[in-house]
Amino acid sequence: MAKTGTPGTGRQLPGLPLDPVSDEKSRRRARKWWWATGIVVVGLVAWVVVTGGESDRGNEITAPRDFCKAAGRYEKTLERHSVDGKRSPAEYAREIELVEAVVATAPPKVHADAETFLAALREAEQHPNRKVEVDPSVKRAVDNVNRKFAQGCGIYAREGV
């Protein structure tokens, strides 16, 4: 086996030593690969730093801004309601007013669902002492409006902030 490498290291490299031209070609090729690898690693690190390693495509705001504002005000009002679910006539009136704003600004895909939600709310207001049975179609409509608000208004992106 031939000794190659830097003088004084005493390392034994396997195989025959390369001629100077081949050795230079090999070193040049190795240098290019190291640079390419370094650029890829730096690019990946920059991407992780900028995006946190996640794609935000699912958190983009796709719903109309007015709808997002109206639905956000309604949700804030719901958070303040009593836990037992009983509401005063003034609370019903305020809630209906907020849902009317949601209906007025709802995107076409959920406009009919928002109207169904408003109609059910008005019925509940007219019979405050009676337990109103929630129709599955009304529940589905409310869920659709809530889903559009959560997904279309970037709610998930704002929760962590």
How does pLDDT run across 18-55, given as a tens digit for each residue?
Answer: 788 888 888 899 999 999 999 999 999 998 888 776 55
Q: Which domain holds residue 69?
A: 59-159
Contacts of 41 (CB under 8 A, 6+ apart): none
Same-domain pairing of 21 and 97: no
- Same domain assignment for residues 45 and 102: no
129 falls within a domain: yes
**Which pTM was predicted?**
0.56
pLDDT: which is higher, 18 or 113 = 113
* CB atoms inside a 10 Å sphere around CB 138: 18
Q: What is the mean pLDDT of the chain?
A: 78
pLDDT tens column, 63-102: 788 888 888 888 887 777 655 566 677 777 888 888 898 8
What pLDDT, in 10s, does the model give residues 142-161?
A: 888 888 888 878 776 555 44
Residues 86, 137 share a domain: yes
Do 24 and 88 lie in a common domain? no
pLDDT at position 1 over 60: no
80 and 50 inside one domain: no
Q: Is residue 153 part of a domain?
A: yes
**Domain co-membership, 140 together with 118:** yes
Tokens 């025959």 locate to 16
Question: With contact defined as beta carbons under 8 Å apart, do 106 and 149 qualify?
Answer: no
With CA atoms as reference, report the closest residue to 99 among 79, 123, 115.
115
DSSP, collapsed to helix, strand or coil, labels residue 8 as coil
- Contacts of residue 118, defined as CB under 8 A and 6 or more positions apart, other chains included, come to 96, 99, 100, 102, 103
The pLDDT assigned to 161 comes to 43
